[in-house]
Chains A and B, each alone.
Chain A
């Protein structure tokens, strides 16, 4: 696989239960500063945080962007399902925002971003999928790629049925073809299913291994 180097990263943890984001890696405590008000209103707090992470890591809108979320915006999806059951008409706004790439869409309008955009979900393998896709863009000749992994709040109804970090969290990485910090992969180890919060712990140096097989290596 194309080698991956970490250039920079940012994290967002509004309720820091056991996890923290180092100060220099934080975004604004009230997410959404990267968006004009008329676009900001369309996103909830996790969506706004994703846009701020992307803006911090790709301020000139030069790089391909990939956004991964295992569950997406389940709160609004569930609310729409409940409305359908009740026979009530769906909100056109909510319906239009109920696609996995909605957050990237808002970000690209706000920042006039015209490079490739990709949204993905991978049943717990989001980090692996992000690395694979990022390696693909770098191999194609892009100098860097920004990836964001995010989870919003999980509605109570899903609590016993879903693997979820238990609180909203998001992390963004800018990956490049060369640099001083390499992401080294031990492909002989099968992967776990990291959440954005565990990725933050790994990037902050609190755990040496992510998903049993990824390590940060000074070059």
Chain B
């Protein structure tokens, strides 16, 4: 599998496992759809949980308060760009 596709699938699985989305499969998560609010429907606790998971898995530290973090969490595609640019693990 292409590296980008593999990362996309890894991130989808990370989201599903970390956030215990029992009824969601990787195919249900669209690359450009919003992860929070409408779209997938995640909430603020999920954002913190996801931030912790990114730190554990990829060594990426984010500031929970910053506007930049908000942009990184806008969609799966945005999250993927973040991981590609800043991963250390």
Q: Which A positions have Cβ atoms within 8 angstroms of B?
A: 37-38, 40-42, 89, 91-93, 96
- 7 additional A-B pairs beyond A91-B49, A93-B45, beta carbons within 8 Å, are A37-B21, A41-B20, A41-B21, A92-B48, A92-B49, A93-B19, A93-B48
Give CA–CA (A40, B41) in the complex, Å: 13
Give CA–CA (A92, B45) in the complex, Å: 6
List the B side residues contacting A38 at CB < 8 Å: 41
Nearest A residue (CB) for B47: A92
B side interface size, CB within 8 A: 13
List the A side residues contacting B45 at CB < 8 Å: 92-93, 96
Enumerate 26 A-B pairs (CB-CB under 8 Å) in ascending A order.
A37-B21, A37-B22, A37-B23, A38-B41, A40-B22, A41-B19, A41-B20, A41-B21, A41-B22, A42-B20, A89-B52, A89-B55, A89-B56, A91-B49, A91-B52, A92-B45, A92-B48, A92-B49, A92-B52, A93-B19, A93-B20, A93-B45, A93-B46, A93-B48, A93-B49, A96-B45
Distance from A155 Cβ to chain B, minimum over Cβ atoms (Å): 20
Distance from B29 Cβ to chain A, minimum over Cβ atoms (Å): 14
List the B side residues contacting A89 at CB < 8 Å: 52, 55-56
Give CA–CA (A38, B21) in the complex, Å: 7
Give CA–CA (A89, B57) in the complex, Å: 13
Distance from A73 Cβ to chain B, minimum over Cβ atoms (Å): 15
List the B side residues contacting A93 at CB < 8 Å: 19-20, 45-46, 48-49
Nearest A residue (CB) for B20: A41
Nearest B residue (CB) for A89: B52
Distance from A20 Cβ to chain B, minimum over Cβ atoms (Å): 29
Q: Which residues of chain B (35-63) have a CB below 8 Å from chain A?
A: 41, 45-46, 48-49, 52, 55-56
Give CA–CA (A40, B23) in the complex, Å: 10
Distance from B50 Cβ to chain A, minimum over Cβ atoms (Å): 9
List the A side residues contacting B46 at CB < 8 Å: 93
Q: Which residues of chain B (52-78) have a CB below 8 Å from chain A?
A: 52, 55-56
List the A side residues contacting B48 at CB < 8 Å: 92-93
List the A side residues contacting B22 at CB < 8 Å: 37, 40-41
Nearest B residue (CB) for A97: B45
Distance from A48 Cβ to chain B, minimum over Cβ atoms (Å): 11
